[in-house]
């Protein structure tokens, strides 16, 4: 037997390991199972190239709890280690790895979040155990070795009687970590971190079959060949759906579609992303994209790796090239990570384009569920914006879907104003803006339905990128002014009459809210119309939804125009009405009707209006 002292330069490394990794003790299991997996895959490789002259067979990794003796065993059938290798890999290499980790992060480790991303390796076992043993037999056939360390820098290493190949790690679980002797806890960790690891992991047994056929079989916790590791050509639609359910067992809704990622140059990355049906209320999503490194779960915080707008998607990304052992801020500056993010953006755009081209009707039917993600993508990723023109849709209030180019084509004849600007009309709420929509449709105009919360930002961007293209909400002005044409309507009222009427109305309505404007319109158009100027409203919306818009605009009061159609019968009527009281009543009634059209008549005002209207019926 040899015994020795691990070469310590950081004093008392074990208490340090325990202390610094306090919040993430559970990763020890992931680390040990990763080592067991590596050892197994190494053997597979060596046998496949004829280097190891042993039968590879069907190796598994077993996790076993010995509650009575407070031990946790992790057993593999991999390459194992000779005594010299234990000396080298465990006492020197692994230790220096752990030591380096602590050296580097002892000051920053407390800011949680980064910790889980470090492979502390073998020594993370000391986060939960006060004594660790290794029994290991190398495939090379040399005598087995037994290493023991009780958490002080002293260890012992001797030959032992193990006959089967591989490594067994025995953790003597510490008093404060006995939760790791509970079945449920270990199962939970295995499911969280090892669900898709490439070597079968056994944890306990269960009964299978009925009656005489009943037998005890190993319980395998993982799926060693998850869908993303396969070729798209080998997978059916159903396979993708099944994998979605496997990833998110609590999710009952099918995804809308998937994107299989597969790249090996200039970095390695595989994965499957799913577009979920988004909840209308956009509640915080519990099921997030999961990041794996060679089938080992790392995190479901993919910020910085996946472009922001795609964090609403679900699925998995697996890459050995993502530098996991570094902090978030470093990650964002890393060139490789930026490339990965760009690749994903491009892949998603390509997929959307092919979905659009292959089955437009189906794509349109999914539009409502995906538009938010795409709109957000257009606003936040230039690379996506550049590609999105090919599949971005603009639905009309009647359920017709145009691309921007198609829309320009369909509306340029009627909707180009006298200055040559193409004016795209839109509504944000079909019900509330119905009277304005009707007025626009009577002129043969197209009216889009753009109802996402960030749409004001999007149209702002479209306007600045498309020359001579403007957007106006249907209630931004009266219909003749929304798209100004050459012809000027003549007013039936004289200048004096107009002035009189304006002053009279201004005295009755709240001036701080409405600006009164007299316009000569068709005599059949409504006499009183309330509009909300596009620019002010859009800036206000933009500053309310953040990023852009005029600073502080969000707190401005709503401002409206009250347009009086001087060619309407009511206008003439009001001019000739001599009874002030009757005139007053008529103006109030007309204003209320205009408010009603805009959805602005509520509460006490509505009650008063209803009362007055009934009285007038008499």
Ligand X SMILES: Nc1ncnc2c1ncn2[C@@H]1O[C@H](COP(=O)(O)OP(=O)(O)OP(=O)(O)O)[C@@H](O)[C@H]1O
DSSP alpha helix (H) spans, 308-454:
328-333, 335-358, 360-380, 382-388, 404-415, 434-442
Burial class, 310, CB count within 10 angstroms (exposed 0-12 / middle 13-18 / buried 19+): buried
The answer to whether 319 is a known ligand-binding residue is no
| Position 78 contacts ligand X (CB under 6 A) | yes
- Whether 76 has a binding-site annotation, put simply, is yes
Nearer to ligand X, 61 or 437 (CB): 61
Is 601 an interacting residue with respect to ligand X (CB under 6 A)? no
d(CA 491, CA 495): 9
Q: Find the radius of gyration of the CA atoms of the chain.
A: 35
Q: Does 479 bind ligand X (CB under 6 A)?
A: no
Helix (H), strand (E) at residue 597: helix 580-598
Mark the segment that binds ligand X (CB under 6 A) among 74-82, 180-188, 442-450, 508-516. 74-82
Taking CB under 6 A as the rule, does residue 76 contact ligand X?
yes
Segment 98-127, which members bind ligand X (CB under 6 A)? 119, 121-122
Q: Tell me whether residue 90 or residue 594 sits nearer to ligand X (CB atom).
A: 90
Give the full edge-to-edge strand order of the sheet including 314-318: 257-263, 269-275, 314-318, 290-293, 296-299
Give the nearer residue to ligand X in terms of CB position, either 71 or 517: 71
Instruction: Name which of residues 34 to 53 contact ligand X (CB under 6 A).
Output: 35-36, 39
**Is the distance from CB of 434 to CB of 598 less than 8 angstroms?**
no
Residue 59 binds ligand X (CB under 6 A): no
Q: How far is the CB of 279 from ligand X (least distance, A)?
A: 38
SS3 call for 536 = helix
Q: What is the DSSP string of 82-109?
A: -HHHIIIIIIIIIHHHHHHHHHHHTTTT
To ligand X, the closest distance from the beta carbon of 327 in angstroms equals 17
Q: How many CB atoms lie within 10 A of CB 197?
A: 26
97 is in an annotated binding site: yes
- Other Cβ atoms closer than 10 A to 317: 23
Tell me whether strands 296-299 and 290-293 are parallel, antiparallel or unpaired.
antiparallel
Per CB under 6 A, contacts with ligand X among 129-188 are 167
What 3-state DSSP class applies to 417? coil
Question: Of 86-94, 179-187, 197-205, 446-454, which part binds ligand X (CB under 6 A)?
Answer: 86-94
Q: How far is the CB of 241 from ligand X (least distance, A)?
A: 34
- Is the CB of 121 or the CB of 307 nearer to ligand X? 121
Q: For residues 138 and 568, which CB has a smaller minimum distance to ligand X in the complex?
A: 138
Q: Counting contacts by CB under 6 A, is residue 89 touching ligand X?
A: yes
Name which of 320 and 546 has its Cβ closer to ligand X: 320
Q: Which of 309, 350, 347, 313 is nearest to 458 (CA)?
A: 309
Stretch that binds ligand X, among 91-99, 156-164, 300-308, 403-411 (CB under 6 A): 91-99
- The reply on whether position 93 binds ligand X by CB under 6 A is yes
Q: Which residue positions form the known binding site for ATP?
A: 31, 35, 76, 81, 96-97, 167, 328
- Residues of this chain that interact with ligand X (CB under 6 A) are 31, 35-36, 39, 76, 78-81, 89-90, 93-94, 97, 119, 121-122, 167
């Amino acid at each position: 037997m040899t015994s020795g002292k691990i070469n310590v330069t950081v004093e008392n490394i074990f208490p340090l390991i325990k202390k610094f990794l306090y919040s993430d003790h559970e990763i020890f299991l992931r680390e040990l199972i990763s080592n067991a997996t590596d050892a197994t895959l190494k053997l597979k490789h060596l046998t496949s190239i004829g280097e190891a002259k042993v039968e590879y067979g069907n190796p598994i990794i077993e996790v076993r709890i010995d509650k009575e003796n407070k031990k946790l065993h992790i057993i593999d059938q991999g390459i194992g280690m000779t005594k010299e290798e234990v000396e080298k890999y465990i006492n020197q290499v692994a230790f220096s790895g752990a030591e380096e980790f602590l050296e580097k992060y002892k000051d920053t480790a407390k800011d949680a979040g980064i910790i889980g991303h470090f492979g502390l390796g073998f020594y993370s076992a000391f986060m939960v155990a006060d004594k660790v043993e290794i029994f290991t037999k190398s495939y090379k056939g040399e005598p087995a070795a037994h290493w023991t360390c009780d958490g002080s820098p002293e260890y012992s290493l001797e030959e032992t009687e193990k006959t089967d190949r591989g490594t067994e790690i025995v953790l003597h679980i510490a008093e404060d970590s006995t939760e790791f002797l509970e079945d449920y806890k270990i199962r939970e960790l295995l499911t969280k971190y090892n669900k898709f690891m490439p070597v079968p992991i056994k944890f306990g047994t269960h009964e299978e079959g009925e009656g005489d056929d009943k037998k005890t079989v190993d319980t395998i916790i993982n799926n060693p060949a998850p869908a993303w590791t396969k070729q798209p050509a080998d997978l059916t639609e159903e396979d993708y759906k099944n994998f979605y359910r496997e990833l998110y067992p609590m999710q009952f809704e099918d995804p809308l579609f998937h994107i299989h990622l597969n790249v090996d140059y200039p970095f390695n990355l595989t994965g499957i992303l799913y577009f979920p049906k988004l909840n209308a209320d956009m509640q915080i999503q519990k099921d997030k994209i999961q990041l794996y490194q060679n089938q080992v779960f790392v995190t479901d915080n993919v910020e910085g790796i996946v472009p922001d707008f795609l964090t609403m998607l679900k699925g998995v990304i697996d890459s050995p090239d993502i530098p996991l052992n570094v902090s978030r801020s470093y990650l964002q500056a890393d060139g490789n990570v930026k490339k990965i993010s760009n690749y994903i953006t491009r892949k998603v755009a390509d997929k959307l384009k092919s979905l659009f081209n292959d089955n437009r009707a189906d794509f349109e039917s999914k539009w409502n569920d995906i538009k938010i993600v795409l709109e957000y993508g257009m606003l936040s990723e230039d690379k996506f914006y550049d590609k999105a023109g090919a599949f971005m849709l603009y639905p009309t209030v009647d359920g017709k879907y145009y691309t921007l180019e198609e829309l320009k084509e369909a509306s340029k004849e009627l909707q180009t104003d006298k200055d040559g600007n193409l004016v795209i009309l839109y509504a944000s709420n079909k019900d509330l803006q119905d009277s304005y929509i009707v007025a626009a449709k009577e002129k043969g105009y197209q009216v889009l339905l753009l109802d996402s919360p960030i749409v004001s930002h999007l149209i702002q961007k479209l306007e600045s990128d498309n020359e001579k293209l403007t957007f106006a909400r249907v209630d931004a002005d009266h219909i003749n002014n929304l798209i100004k044409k050459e012809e000027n309507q003549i007013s039936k009222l004289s200048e004096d009459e107009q002035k009189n009427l304006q002053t009279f109305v201004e005295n009755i309505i709240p001036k701080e809210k409405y600006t009164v404007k007299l316009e000569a319109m068709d005599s059949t158009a409504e006499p009183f119309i309330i509009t909300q100027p596009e620019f002010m409203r859009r800036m206000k919306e933009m500053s309310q939804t953040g990023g852009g818009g005029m600073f502080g605009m969000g707190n401005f009061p709503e401002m409206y125009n009250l347009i009086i159609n001087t060619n309407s019968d009511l206008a003439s009527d009001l001019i000739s009405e001599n009874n002030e009281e009757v005139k007053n009543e008529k103006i109030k009634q007309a204003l209320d009707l205009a408010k009603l059209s805009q959805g602005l008549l509520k509460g006490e005002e509505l009650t008063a209006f209803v009362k007055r209207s009934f009285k007038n019926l008499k």
